[in-house]
Amino acid sequence: MTIATTGDAGRPATDLGHLLHKHPERHQSFSVTAGTAHVFYPEADERRCTAALLLEIDSVGLVRAAGRGGRRGARPAPGHQAGALAQYVNDRPYAASSLLAVALGQVFRTALRGECRARPELAGRPLPLRITVPALPAYGGPELVRRMFEPLGWRVTADPVPLDEHFPQWGESRYVRLALEGDGVPLAEALRQIYVLLPVLDGAKHYWVTPEEVDKLLRAGEGWLPYHPEHRLITGRYLHRRAALTREAMQRLELARLAEADDAEPEELDNAVPEETEETPGTAGTAGTAGTAGTAGTAGTAGTAGTAGTAGTAGTAGTAEEERQVPLAQRRREAILAALAELGAERVLDLGCGAGHLIQLLLQDGRFREVAGVDVSVRALQFAARRLRLERLPERQRERVRLFQSALTYTDSRLKGYDAAVLCEVVEHVDPPRLPALEYAVFGHARPGAVLVTTPNAEYNVRWETLPAGAFRHPDHRFEWDRARFREWADATARRYGYRVSVRPVGPDDPEVGAPTQLALFRTGTEQDQNRDRDDKREAGA
């Protein structure tokens, strides 16, 4: 990156050297965490002075350190390409990533603090500045870059860098060529903004977020972050989407902001901390548990968004549904609870239990004597165990619940003998050619007294404004059925395995497209039961 300023005889541009504490006529090298940082000045005279910070990263050393460091080593942010820093093929040596931010903090430590021994009067004064970063990784693109810097008073040029000129169809890369120009910001503050915003835009904070990070952020954000309209997004991303820490930081940010205004303790005022941060509806549930888990160092809750999709539970991915998913997921669970109560089921299987939302509800209801949560994702089961606080449940409660890994494309004798099995938003995560295997494993082999299946109603998708036409609600959905197709499947499955089935809507029942979720209730039973049902219906109709 380069930092340039202009000046004149009275206020020579070369004062930049004093402010940065780096001599304009010398090339200086510093050993920093990721490699070697070089500072030199491509130009330095009265009128124009440009300082360049070049970070030479030891990519081999970085990987080796990550390999050895284990826990303290590299961890990419969720949603990133796997193992960002564990790869030798890495953009870190070329892109202005969080590593550059760290180097900036180390090389210009004094300048960042706004101290200038030689010319103390310069330090707090805004300068005409032009800062360029040739390859800035920016998740969110130029648009987000502008949202970050413009409120701080910068004129922003952010040109996207093409991914590969040979393959124009690949489009733009995630990098932008950034130039910031302005004359209203003191150098120290400009550097602190860069220090915070590089990792925020980069999205991949490269080392573990620890409680000290919160303090660092607060220090670096002093004077500008509390007033930034995107402060919540910045905080969330900076802290690696660690929900618990986000909350802590939010409190402290609110402390920073409101303490100034109200002279009050932040705890007094912290009464409306949103559970969710941007982009991560999935963390809403985790927040509670992570908060109690306490130590930030423990292998994290971060990344729920990535995994829980397997389980098929709602609210796990940042899709179009996000704003409505929580209420819909709740309604789904309520509908399931109601159906289970109707059946008088006492021993219940939650097949594809995900992070255990439904199990949690079931355990709160004494009618369910035994609940088994099954998922194919071990991580989902870990989240579920944490959500349910299995290790701290009293013995009698603990005996009611069992969590174990299994796959519904295999038969499993442990699934036999239950009153009811719930497949809540699960079937649509199975490839259609593998569905017969699931049907046999559940209806033919496990053979619970009742089976509850919920799945999206594809017809309703047109009612989600944010969902592109024809798209599925979740990236892992292998199909989404309309009401007729679901009915057809339910009838065929019931016939094949000797169940009776009824289908009901869940959620607002739209006259045109139906409800967002459809629920099929399968029951084993004799013809007598069936006749009785029919009579009941007739009576109800009459």
Partner 1 sequence: MTELAIPDLSLVVLIGTTGSGKSTFARRHFRPTQVVSSDVCRGLVADDENDQSATPEAFDLLHYITGKRLAGGRLTVVDATNVQREARARLVALAREHDVLPVAVVLDVPEPVCRERNAARPDRAGLPPHVLPRQRRELRRSLGALQREGFRHVHVLRGEAEVAAARVALRPRFNDLRHLTGPFDIIGDVHGCRSELETLLGGKLGYVIERDGRGRPVGARHPEGRTAVFVGDLVDRGPDSPGVLRLVMGMVEQGTALCVPGNHEQKLGRWLAGRKVRVAHGLAETIEQLERVEEEEEEKKKNEEKERQERQPEGGGFRARVRAFLDGLVSHYVLDGGRLVVAHAGLPEKYHGRTSGRVRAHALFGETTGETDEFGLPVRYPWAEDYRGRAAVVYGHTPVPRASWLNNTICLDTGAVFGGRLTALRWPERELADTPAERVWYEPVRPLAAEAPGGGTGRPLDVADVQGRRVVTTRHAGRLSVREENAAAALEVMSRFAVDPRLLLYLPPTMAPCATSAAEGYLEHPAEAFAAYRAAGVREVICEEKHMGSRAVVLVARDPRVIGERFGVAPGAPGAVWTRTGRAFFDDAATAAGLLERLSAAIGGAGLWEELETGWLLLDAELMPWSLKAGGLLRGQYAAVGAAARAAFPEALAALEAARARGVALDGGLLERQRERAADAAAFTDAYRRYCWPAGGDGGDGVPAGVRLAPFGLLAAEGRSLAGLAHDRQLALIDRMIAAEPGAGGGTGLLAPTGRLVVDTADEASVAAGTEWWLELTAAGGEGMVVKPLAAQVRDGDGRQVQPGVKCRGREYLRIVYGPEYTRPENLARLRERHLGHKRSLALREHALGLEALDRLAADEPLWRVHEAVFAVLALESEPVDPRL
Show the binding pattern over residues 268-307: x = contacts partner 1 (CB under 8 A), - = does not. Answer: ----------------------------------------
On whether the CB atoms of residues 496 and 443 are closer than 8 A, the answer is yes
For CA atoms 389, 393, 396, 398, the dihedral sign is positive
Candidate segments 69-77, 102-110, 430-438, 454-462, binder of partner 1 by CB under 8 A: 430-438
Q: How far is CA 327 from CA 8, 56, 288, 321, 382, in A?
A: 62, 50, 18, 10, 24
CB of 387 to partner 1, least distance (A): 20
The answer to the question of residue 134 lying near partner 1 (CB under 8 A) is: yes
Task: Provide the token pair at 424.
Answer: 């809540």
Q: Looking at beta carbons only, is 170 or 227 nearer to partner 1?
A: 170
Which among 84-92, 193-201, 289-297, 503-511 is the span making contact with partner 1, rule CB under 8 A? 84-92
For the bound state, the minimum distance from the C-beta of residue 2 to partner 1, rounded and expressed in Å, comes to 6
d(CA 439, CA 445): 9
Instruction: Show the site string, 431-460: x = touches partner 1 by CB under 8 A, - = not.
Output: --xxxxxxxxx--x----------------
- 3-class SS at 70? helix
Choice from 161, 218, 343, 467 touching partner 1 (CB under 8 A): 161
* Of 515, 452, 513, 512, the residue nearest 324 (C-alpha): 515
Q: Which is nearer to partner 1, 80 or 257 (CB)?
A: 80
Q: Of 97 and 301, which CB lies nearer to partner 1 in the complex structure?
A: 97
Least Cβ distance, residue 179 to partner 1 (angstroms): 11
Closest separation in Å from C-beta 130 to partner 1: 13
Asked if residue 418 binds partner 1 (CB under 8 A), the reply is no
Q: Which of residues 233-272 bind partner 1 (CB under 8 A)?
A: none
> Of 208-227, which residues contact partner 1 (CB under 8 A)?
none
Based on CB atoms, which residue is closest to partner 1, 250 or 430? Answer: 430
Q: Which is nearer to partner 1, 227 or 410 (CB)?
A: 410
Nearer to partner 1 among residue 56 and residue 181 (C-beta) = 56
Q: Which is nearer to partner 1, 157 or 251 (CB)?
A: 157
Report the run of H or E that residue 387 belongs to, with start and end. Answer: helix 378-388
Assess contact for 354 and 310: CB atoms under 8 A.
yes
CB-facing half-sphere around the CA of 123: CA atoms within 13 A: 13
Alpha helices by DSSP H, 44-124: 59-69, 98-107, 109-112, 120-123
| Residue 330: CB minimum distance to partner 1, A | 26
Pick between residue 152 and residue 178 the one whose CB is nearest to partner 1.
Answer: 178
Measured from the CB atom, the residue of 59 and 235 that comes closer to partner 1 is: 59
Give the other-Cβ count within 10 Å of 180's Cβ.
24
- In terms of Cβ atoms closer than 10 Å to its own Cβ (0-12, 13-18, 19+), residue 396 is exposed
Determine the straight-line distance between the first and last CA of the chain, rounded to whole angstroms. 80
408 binds partner 1 (CB under 8 A): yes
SS3 for 78-93 is CCCCCCHHHCCCCCCC
Query: Binding mask 477-496 vs partner 1 (x if CB under 8 A, - otherwise)?
Result: --------------------
Q: Is the CB of residue 192 less than 8 Å from the CB of residue 218?
A: no
User: CA 2, CA 103: separation in Å to the nearest integer?
Assistant: 14
405 binds partner 1 per the rule CB under 8 A: yes
Would you count residue 184 as binding partner 1 (CB under 8 A)? no
Find the binding residues for partner 1 in span 50-69 (CB under 8 A): 50, 52, 54, 56, 59-61, 64
Rounded least distance, CB 166 to partner 1, Å:
6
Rg of the chain (C-alpha set): 29
Residue of 14, 90, 301, 457 that binds partner 1 (CB under 8 A): 90
Question: Which residue, among 83, 95, 96, 19, has the nearest Cα to 51 in the 3D structure?
Answer: 19
